[in-house]
Amino acid sequence: LAGPPSPPGQDPHGWRVPVDCVRANELCAAEPSCSSRYRTLRQCLAGRDRNTMLANKECQAALEVLQESPLYDCRCKRGMKKELQCLQIYWSIHLGLTEGEEFYEASPYEPVTSRLSDIFRLASIFSGMDPATNSKSNHCLDAAKACNLNDNCKRLRSGYISTCSREISATEPCSRRKCHKALRQFFDRVPSEYTYRLLFCSCKDQACAERRRQTIVPSCSYEDKEKPNCLDLRNTCRTDHLCRSRLADFHTNCQASFQSLTSCPGDNYQACLGSYAGLIGFDMTPNYVDASPTSITISPWCSCKGSGNMEEECEKFLRDFTENPCLRNAIQAFGNGTDVNLAP
């Protein structure tokens, strides 16, 4: 879902709009000085931390040249062609520079400029009704119906459901890898007016909340025999470029902030919900922990047991899911069909 078109080279905040990393890489490759510095920097970063790297004259020089090149500010788009390649280029520069041990990492994705209200407008066109109607209706059931009436949504939804519920053997209830892949396809290729309605529908009873919890087929995509430690899980996620990027995006867009009315960065609910949905189908897949209709608790499949001296850090990480006012407000606002009205 594209936002309103912005003037070329400018985003609404007046910053330079970054070029995507695949394109930036092409631009750099066409220029001999840039491409040789890029190669040098990649060699500098391989296996060394920021400080050792900065101590080296040649590396320092390469960095200075690259700071002026489009590679330095490049970003990627969710679901773009060659997304993985784009992210590989992004992290090849940023991994060594951001230490790789920071608690929060900056998102490699472009900022989301569209708003929840855009989705509501579209949703009410195709469903022919106001999203916040009838208090008796089961919104999660309505969402499933709406999806089934759309060929693309129906096909990809039944695709992931059948993949995720196919039993392989008595000890292996499903292929988690294939299930995750099918879920990623669903959330990448189906417009968010369908996927968000399924994920964030509001509920008044347990049956509805259970349906909401079951949306991603948690027995296969979420639950596991053992609950790993959250920091361990984060580590696993960070070894994968896609998972790392989606997690960084979640932290950028859903990190609770005291400086806004909604607790969300820039009061942008859409951006937070989008990066939440972007985590589904990776090691850090989040879900509703129970079928409580009103008190919403979200968590990835991990706990802080066995954290040793890192318990504080682990709990801080987990709280960004379980006790995050921005995420909770965003989910509730979507369920209620309310968005913040911001003066432009």
Partner 1 sequence: AAAFGLYFPRKEYSENVYIDQPAGTPLLRIHALRDSHGEVAHFHLCQNLIISRARSHENHWFQIREKTGLLYLSKSLNREDFNMLSVGNWMPLSKVMLYVFLSSHPFQEKECDSATRTTVFLSLMNATAPACSSLTARQLCFTEMDLSFHIKENKPPGTFHQLQLPSVHHLCQNLSISYKLLAAEGMPFRYNENTTGVSVTQRLDREERERYELIAKCTVREGFREMQVEVPFLVNVLDEDDSPPFLPNGTDTADAVVEFNRKEGTVLATLTVYDADTTPIYPLESSRKKYTGTIITDDPWISETFRVEHIFDEIHFSPNGSQVRGTQHEYKLVLNKSISVTEHRSFQLDVLVNDTEFHGPERSVMLHFNVSILPVSIQFPNMTYQFTVNRNAERFAQIGKICIENCMKFRGVNISYKLLSPNVSCYPVSILQGREGKWGSLYVNDSSVLHRPECKEIQYTIQATDKQSRKHTKTLLTVVLEGTLLKKEEDCPDSCAVSKHRAECEECGGLGVLTGRCQWRQGSGKGITTNYSTCTPSIKTCPDGTCDVIESKDPAVCPQDCTSGNIIGGHGKGTGNLGIKSGHGICYCFPRQNCYCEKDDIKEQLCDEMCKTVI
Question: The tokens of 270 are what?
Answer: 């859409």
Binding mask 203-232 for partner 1 (x = CB under 8 A): --------------------------x-xx
Binding mask 74-93 for partner 1 (x = CB under 8 A): -------------------x
Q: Do 282 and 246 form a contact (C-beta atoms < 8 A)?
A: yes
Binding of partner 1 by 73 (CB under 8 A): yes
Binding of partner 1 by 274 (CB under 8 A): no
Task: Please tell me the distance from the alpha carbon of residue 38 to that of residue 13, in angstroms, as a whole number.
Answer: 30
Closer CB to partner 1, residue 169 or residue 295? Answer: 169
Nearest distance from C-beta of residue 228 to partner 1, angstroms = 8
Scanning 66-74, 126-134, 214-222, 324-332 for contacts with partner 1 by CB under 8 A, the matching segment is 66-74
In the list 69, 92, 221, 307, the residue contacting partner 1 (rule: CB under 8 A) is 307
Nearest distance from C-beta of residue 99 to partner 1, angstroms = 9
Beta strands in 32-71 (DSSP E): none
Task: Please tell me the distance from the alpha carbon of residue 160 to that of residue 162, in angstroms, as a whole number.
Answer: 6
Query: Under DSSP, is residue 143 helix (H, G, I), strand (E, B) or coil?
Result: helix
Binding of partner 1 by 266 (CB under 8 A): yes
Task: Please tell me the distance from the alpha carbon of residue 164 to that of residue 287, in angstroms, as a whole number.
Answer: 15
DSSP class per residue in 192-261 = HHHHHHHHS---SSHHHHHHHHGGG-HHHHT--SSPPBHHHHHHHHHTSHHHHHHHHHHHHHH---TTST
In the list 10, 33, 52, 137, the residue contacting partner 1 (rule: CB under 8 A) is 52
Task: Please tell me the distance from the alpha carbon of residue 93 to that of residue 34, in angstroms, as a whole number.
Answer: 13
Place of tokens 């040098």: 40
Closer CB to partner 1, residue 98 or residue 338? Answer: 98
Binding of partner 1 by 323 (CB under 8 A): no
| Binding positions for partner 1, rule: CB under 8 A | 11, 13, 15, 51-52, 54-55, 67, 72-73, 93-94, 97-98, 106, 111, 166-170, 229, 231-232, 235, 252, 258-259, 265-266, 305-313
